[in-house]
Amino acid sequence: MSYTSSNTTTTTQQPQKDNKKIILGVLIAALVLTWGYMFYDKSKSTQTVQQLQTQVATSDNSRDALQRDFNTTSAKLDSLTGTNIKMQGSLAERNQDVQKLKANIASILRNKNATSSELSKARAMVTELNGKVEALYAEVEKLKAENQQLATSNTQLSTEKTQLTTEKTELQSNLDKTAAEKAQVENVASTLRASNINITPINLKSNGKEKETTVAKRVDVMRVSFDLDENRIAPSGKKDLYVCVVGPDGKPITMGEVLTTKEDGDKKITSKVTVDYEQGKRSAISFDWKPDNDIKYQAGNYKIEIYQNGYKIGESIKSLKKGGLFS
């Protein structure tokens, strides 16, 4: 009785131990699987994060490179607008298109949340912008070269103009000098010459008769006569003759008028005589002179100078004597 119960109890306890082992094994396996899954999931998440970080870094690098390319192209464009080349016509229109494209790119790059599609579009626009800027730059350089060539040509033309002006001035100066010399020659050549100058002191009688005398106190008038020689250059017409008389005291007897001569400076004029002259013919001239205000003639030498056209054309001296008590 007692033996049978003991075997039964032993038999019953053995399956219970096996079940516990099975349950424990299952739990351990489940735990291992759970840990394994958690480790795998964590590794997967880490990999995903790394991939995302790599993508973000790549995107940032690409954006930075895009920004640098844009800045370089923009700087080149800005250098064009700073030149002295005035953009007109088609060049101005192309510049407007480039500026508009630049503004569109800048708008995308300013957007911190720009999508990859927008950045790709911006990259394509930067490439387009760079091409247009290069073309515009080449055109501006061409214009600058043309302007430099024009400036060189203008400088050359200015130099030639200055040279021509100098030559013209020199030529005009030579012409003026030649004309002045010609006028001087003609002026001298057209000046009349007086010859056969004769001074006759005359005493006027009460009966109207004239008598030549050399006694100063008896002289009433001096008659000056001479010939104007023929001159084929001097034109016919009225000719003014200026007479300068210097008295025995060495002082000019003047009527107050002054003549500026070509060779003798200013001369005080005693008398002015206007005569008719015919070109190419000899003319006999005669006129009387006596001092104003009934001033008496004095003993001594009277010098008479005749001027025409600013030149002295003749001179003569007449001596008067004092005379005796009954002369």
Domain ranges of the chain: 16-136, 194-320
**Pairwise CA distance, residues 70 & 92, whole Å:** 21
Q: What are phi and psi of 236, to 5 degrees?
A: -70, 155
- Percent helix, strand, coil in the chain, to 5, is 55, 25, 20
Q: In Å, how far are 88, 230, 316 from 210, measured between CA atoms?
A: 102, 31, 22
Cα separation of the two ends of the chain: 230
Phi and psi at residue 150, to the nearest 5°:
-65, -40
Position 26 scores a pLDDT of 77
Find the largest Cα–Cα distance for the chain: 232
CA-to-CA separations, 254 to 38, 272, 302, 319, in angstroms, rounded: 145, 11, 13, 19
Q: What is the pLDDT of residue 42?
A: 66
The span from the CA of 313 to the CA of 228, in Å, is: 9
pLDDT digits (tens, 9 = 90+) for 120-133: 888 898 898 888 88
Rounded Cα distance, 204 and 211, in Å: 6
- Of the candidates 77, 80, 91, 306, the one whose C-alpha atom is nearest the C-alpha of residue 192 is 306
- The pLDDT, as a whole number, for residue 85 is 57
In the chain, the percentage of residues whose pLDDT exceeds 90 is: 42
> Please, which pLDDT band fits residue 246 given cuts at 50, 70 and 90?
very high
Distance, in Å, from the CA atom of 180 to the CA atom of 172, rounded to the nearest integer, reads: 12
Cα 119 to chain center, whole Å? 54
Contact present, 294 and 241 (Cβ < 8 Å): no
Which of 152, 63, 146 minimizes the C-alpha distance to 111? 63
The tens digit of pLDDT for each residue in 33-78 reads 777 677 666 666 656 545 545 444 445 577 888 888 888 887 877 7
pLDDT of 326 reads 54
Give me the pLDDT at residue 113, please.
Answer: 85
Quote the tokens at residue 128. 């387009």
**Secondary-structure class of domain 194-320 per CATH:** mainly beta
pLDDT at 82: 61
Token pair 């290069």 is found at: 134
When the pLDDT of each residue in the chain is averaged and rounded to a whole number, the result is: 83
Token representation of residue 100: 């508009």
Alpha carbons within 13 A on the beta-carbon side of 219: 27
CB 296 within 8 A of CB 216: yes
Q: What is the pLDDT of residue 323?
A: 72
CB 67 within 8 A of CB 105: no
Does residue 11 register a pLDDT over 50?
A: yes
DSSP H helical ranges for 190-216:
none
Residue 194 has pLDDT above 60, yes or no: yes
pLDDT at 159: 93
CA distance 322 to 215: 6
| Helix (H) / strand (E) containing 273 | strand 271-277
